[in-house]
């Protein structure tokens, strides 16, 4: 049966009776607000369809946000977390369609949009529907509609989990176990047979050789197995390249040595496995000690055809290094599907931000790389593996030093652009009998702390001569906190501090960062708080700072100081109360609601919900409840679980004196006294004062989505009418937490 469009629905959307408008604004008619809601949803949905996570995130408020997403257990409050969520979510290729909704207006510039939507997800040849419930709170901020609250949850018991068509992760684990078992059996022939004999690049852990053939592989393992190795994967990632190839990367730890003296060795790995004549073989293996498209056959080109592309892409990467442009370097790495094991960091980098941070530091070494030996393996027209050796020249022009290293790049064409989806780089293992001495950069942070203490101590001593003496007398730019002057000389500096010290300041750094510029200069930036005024009336002043310190004739001096009072937060809407004012009220109303649950008084609970204007999306029912009778029936059943809730994280947003939105996380203890079970969930309540009494006009509650890395959950069951927890059987089919909870509710 086709889904009815908005115009075809037989039930008209309900609205608040009589929109309250500001004195200077015209009322918004009901139909117009509904059209606004539809238009805003379409803008949001279009951003998803375009896979533009930046555009989707831009529709959310950056200053006052509460977001409880469909497929993440996080309570998202900030823009970076929002972008990370949508960067992942758009990979599901979602496209939403509203199937039932309601719009409630709270002024001319705010409305609550609630209801049901269905998302089609997955590739064109395997689209899967996901039924979900939604609550959006939109607000007009600086003339633009922004989402300040969004709660989305799967409809309980209505979605069937569809397995990924090709999942090579279990295959990767099985193949690793085969390889590791052969190591433990000390069978070098068996280990070597797992490697390709015709197309191989092997960069082993404890040899500087670049191994390309079966005989050399066998010889390596003849020696390596004398260490009695036994490996365990501690972190890994698998990337598929069709049905017959995958890249397995991550960290493993080997126990080596005799039984009475086993020693752990931590290392990083990159395996490229390929099915050759129906048998899985390793075509690439890069192992280094830890430093201090599914369902489609891939048509391969010859390696020689990809070789020029590999050289060109490496040149682009290396040129960006030489230009010291860390943004440009990081831009060559995939932002959505990345495994990066860098040369001089022990981290397993999986995201763009960490990639950028790594190159910010690495480019200080002024690197310039040259490939000395390499190999290219093709994986269709849009992917290739580039492995080999390179040498970097690092350091200043008058003192360049070579560093030899091994590399593995997996490049993939994403939206027509070549991106690095895997990069493993490791220093060439030392040849026995040689030593490599590395120079360590001086750590400027302790120096910065000591210099700030000297400056602040001079303030506390009220010694303006001493304070001014810390500033350069010949090369200075000083933008002080409480003066509009641009101070450039020692005398003006002295005059400023003569006045400033009358405030009796004493500063404490609350957040800071130090950037080194050679051994004789550093930039110290961050936030500090000053206590000022007489002892009986000290007042805090929050400010931001930037100091540039430079060593002159062996003495540290301030050559730049910019200090500014911390800007105040944006003022709230003139029609809205401060959230702080509504917070105690929100806690009190939640307590009334929860006390009624504990008292098992379903009539009292239901009476807290509006009887005329309601949208209720409950935790353990797929219904979209709109009336008092259905609310009462829901709680008649729900209270049999003996629930008692506790808020664990929350936020309150005010809408004038008569409405507020309360969102966050709560945990319910359920079941009989001798067998209480916790259930974690997310909530959105919209409370409104109607005829002088506070009523819930919207309530959306959803079980906390399962963390993919969490241990298996207990299965809720019902025995003799009572709920209990039983251990999950290994043979039991996988069910979502909501499936289990919904099953209990039906029983």
pLDDT (tens digit, 9 = 90+) per residue, 668-697?
A: 999 999 999 998 887 888 888 988 899 998
Q: Is 584 exposed, middle or buried (0-12, 13-18, 19+ CB in 10 A)?
A: exposed
Token pair recorded at residue 520: 């004789």
Q: Are residues 170 and 245 in the same domain?
A: yes
- Long-range CB contacts (within 8 A, 24+) of 303-311: 303/375, 303/376, 303/377, 303/378, 303/384, 305/378, 306/376, 306/378, 306/384, 307/376, 309/384, 309/418, 310/374, 310/376, 310/384, 310/386, 310/409, 310/411, 311/371
Query: pLDDT tens-digit profile of 578-608?
Result: 344 788 999 999 999 999 999 999 999 999 9
In a domain, 579, yes or no: no
Q: Are residues 178 and 145 in the same domain?
A: no
Query: pLDDT tens-digit profile of 498-531?
Result: 999 999 999 999 877 777 666 788 877 778 899 9
Phi and psi torsions of 637, nearest 5° = -80, -45
Q: Are residues 169 and 303 in the same domain?
A: yes
Token pair recorded at residue 162: 């569809």
Q: Are residues 516 and 614 in the same domain?
A: no
Q: Are residues 149 and 168 in the same domain?
A: no
- Pair 113, 138: CB distance under 8 Å: yes
Q: Are residues 244 and 393 in the same domain?
A: yes
Q: Kindly list the strands in the beta sheet with 144-154, ordered across the sheet, starting from the edge strand earlier in the chain.
A: 66-68, 144-154, 128-141, 110-121, 95-107
Whole-angstrom Cα distance, residue 66 to residue 45? Answer: 19
**Residues, the chain, total?**
747
Residue closest to 138 by CA, chosen among 109, 163, 96: 109
In a domain, 577, yes or no: no
Q: Are residues 46 and 148 in the same domain?
A: yes
Cβ neighbours of 633 (radius 10 Å): 16
Query: Would you give the DSSP letter of residue 130?
Result: E
In a domain, 438, yes or no: no
Q: Are residues 603 and 550 in the same domain?
A: no
Q: Which one of 6-20, 119-133, 515-529, 565-579 scores highest in mean pLDDT?
A: 119-133
In a domain, 66, yes or no: yes
Give 694's contacts (C-beta < 8 A, 6+ positions apart). 585, 589, 608, 687, 688
In a domain, 581, yes or no: no
Q: Are residues 272 and 420 in the same domain?
A: yes
Last residue of a domain, one of 534, 565, 596: 565
Number of domains in the chain: 4
pLDDT value of position 517? 66
Q: Are residues 86 and 197 in the same domain?
A: no
Last residue of a domain, one of 378, 403, 432: 432
**pTM assigned to the model:** 0.39
Whole-angstrom Cα distance, residue 251 to residue 233? Answer: 6
Query: Would you give the DSSP letter of residue 651?
Result: E
Q: Are residues 481 and 521 in the same domain?
A: yes
- Pair 454, 470: CB distance under 8 Å: yes
Phi and psi torsions of 219, nearest 5° = -65, -40
pLDDT value of position 159? 63
Q: Are residues 514 and 620 in the same domain?
A: no
Q: Would you list the DSSP string of 486-516? A: -B-SHHHHHHHHHHHGGG--EEEEEEEEEEE
**Range(s) of the domain holding residue 679:** 586-746
In a domain, 1, yes or no: no
In a domain, 739, yes or no: yes
Query: pLDDT tens-digit profile of 655-664?
Result: 778 888 888 8
Domain of 628: which CATH number?
Answer: 3.10.450.50
pLDDT value of position 696? 93
Last residue of a domain, one of 432, 460, 492: 432
Q: Kindly list the strands in the beta sheet with 201-203, ordered across the sheet, starting from the edge strand earlier in the chain.
A: 201-203, 279-289, 263-276, 245-256, 230-240
In a domain, 572, yes or no: no
Query: pLDDT tens-digit profile of 88-108?
Result: 899 999 999 999 888 888 788
**Within its chain, how far is the Cα of 247 from the centroid?**
23
- Identify the residue with better confidence: 731 or 395: 395
Query: Would you give the DSSP letter of residue 711?
Result: P
């Amino acid at each position: 049966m086709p889904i009815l469009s908005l115009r075809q629905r037989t039930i008209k959307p309900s609205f608040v009776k009589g929109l309250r408008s500001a004195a200077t604004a015209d009322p918004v008619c009901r139909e117009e607000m509904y059209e606004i809601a539809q238009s805003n949803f379409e803008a949001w949905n279009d951003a998803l369809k375009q896979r533009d996570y930046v555009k989707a995130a831009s529709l959310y408020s950056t200053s006052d946000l509460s977001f409880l997403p469909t497929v993440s257990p996080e309570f998202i409050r900030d823009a970076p977390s929002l972008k990370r969520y949508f960067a992942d979510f758009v990979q599901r290729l979602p496209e939403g369609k509203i199937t039932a909704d309601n719009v409630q207006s709270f002024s001319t510039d705010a409305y609550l949009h609630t209801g049901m939507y269905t998302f089609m997800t997955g590739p064109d040849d395997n689209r899967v529907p996901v039924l979900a419930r939604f609550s959006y709170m939109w607000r007009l901020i600086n003339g633009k509609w922004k989402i300040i609250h969004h709660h989305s949850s799967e409809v309980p018991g209505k979605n069937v989990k569809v397995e990924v068509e090709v999942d090579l992760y279990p295959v990767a684990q099985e193949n690793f176990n085969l390889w590791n078992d052969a190591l433990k059996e000390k069978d070098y022939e068996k280990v070597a047979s797992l490697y390709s004999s015709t197309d191989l690049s092997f960069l082993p852990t404890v040899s500087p050789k670049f191994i390309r053939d079966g005989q050399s592989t066998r010889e390596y393992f003849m020696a390596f197995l004398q260490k009695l190795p036994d490996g365990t994967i501690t972190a890994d990632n698998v990337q598929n390249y069709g049905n017959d190839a995958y890249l397995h990367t991550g960290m493993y730890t080997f126990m080596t040595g005799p039984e009475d003296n086993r020693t752990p060795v931590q290392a990083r790995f990159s395996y490229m496995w390929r099915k050759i004549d129906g048998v899985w073989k390793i075509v690439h293996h890069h192992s280094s000690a830890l430093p201090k498209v599914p369902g489609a056959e891939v048509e391969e080109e010859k390696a020689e055809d990809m070789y020029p592309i590999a050289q060109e892409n490496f040149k682009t990467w290396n040129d960006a290094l030489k230009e010291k442009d860390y943004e440009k370097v990081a831009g060559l790495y995939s932002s959505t599907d990345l495994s990066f094991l860098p040369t001089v960091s022990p981290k397993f980098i999986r995201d763009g931000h960490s990639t950028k941070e790594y190159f910010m530091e690495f480019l200080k070494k002024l690197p310039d790389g040259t490939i000395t030996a390499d190999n290219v393996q093709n994986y269709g027209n849009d992917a290739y593996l580039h492995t080999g050796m390179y040498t970097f020249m690092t350091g200043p022009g008058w003192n360049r030093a070579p560093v030899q290293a091994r590399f593995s790049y997996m490049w993939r064409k994403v939206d027509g652009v070549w991106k690095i989806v895997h990069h493993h780089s490791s220093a060439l293992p030392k040849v026995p009998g040689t030593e490599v001495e590395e120079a360590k950069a001086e750590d400027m942070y302790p120096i910065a702390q000591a210099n700030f203490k000297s400056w602040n101590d001079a303030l506390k001593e009220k010694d303006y001569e001493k304070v001014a003496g810390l500033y350069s007398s010949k090369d200075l730019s000083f933008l002080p906190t409480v003066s509009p002057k641009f101070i450039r000389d020692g005398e003006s500096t002295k005059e400023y501090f003569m006045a400033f010290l009358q405030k009796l300041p004493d500063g404490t750094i609350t957040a800071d960062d130090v950037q080194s510029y050679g051994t004789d200069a550093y930039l110290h930036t961050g936030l500090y708080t000053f206590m000022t005024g007489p002892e009986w009336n000290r007042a805090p002043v929050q400010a931001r700072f930037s100091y540039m310190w430079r060593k002159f004739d062996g003495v540290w001096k301030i050559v730049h100081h910019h200090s500014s009072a911390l800007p105040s937060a944006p003022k709230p809407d003139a029609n809205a109360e401060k959230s702080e004012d509504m917070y105690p009220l929100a806690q009190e109303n939640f307590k009334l609601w929860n006390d009624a649950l504990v008292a098992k008084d379903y009539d009292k609970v239901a009476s807290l919900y509006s009887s005329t204007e309601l949208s209720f999306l409950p935790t353990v029912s797929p219904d979209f409840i709109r009336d008092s009778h259905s609310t009462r029936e829901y709680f008649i059943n729900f209270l049999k679980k003996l629930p008692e809730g506790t808020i664990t994280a929350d936020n309150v947003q005010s809408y004038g004196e008569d409405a507020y939105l309360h969102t966050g996380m709560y945990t319910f203890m359920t079941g009989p006294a001798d067998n209480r079970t916790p259930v974690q969930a997310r909530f959105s309540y919209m409370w409104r004062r109607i005829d002088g009494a506070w009523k819930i006009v919207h309530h959306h509650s959803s079980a906390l989505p399962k963390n993919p890395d969490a241990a298996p959950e207990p299965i809720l069951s019902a025995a003799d009418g009572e709920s209990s927890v039983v251990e999950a059987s290994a043979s039991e089919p996988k069910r979502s937490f909501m499936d289990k909870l919904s099953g209990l509710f039906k029983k």
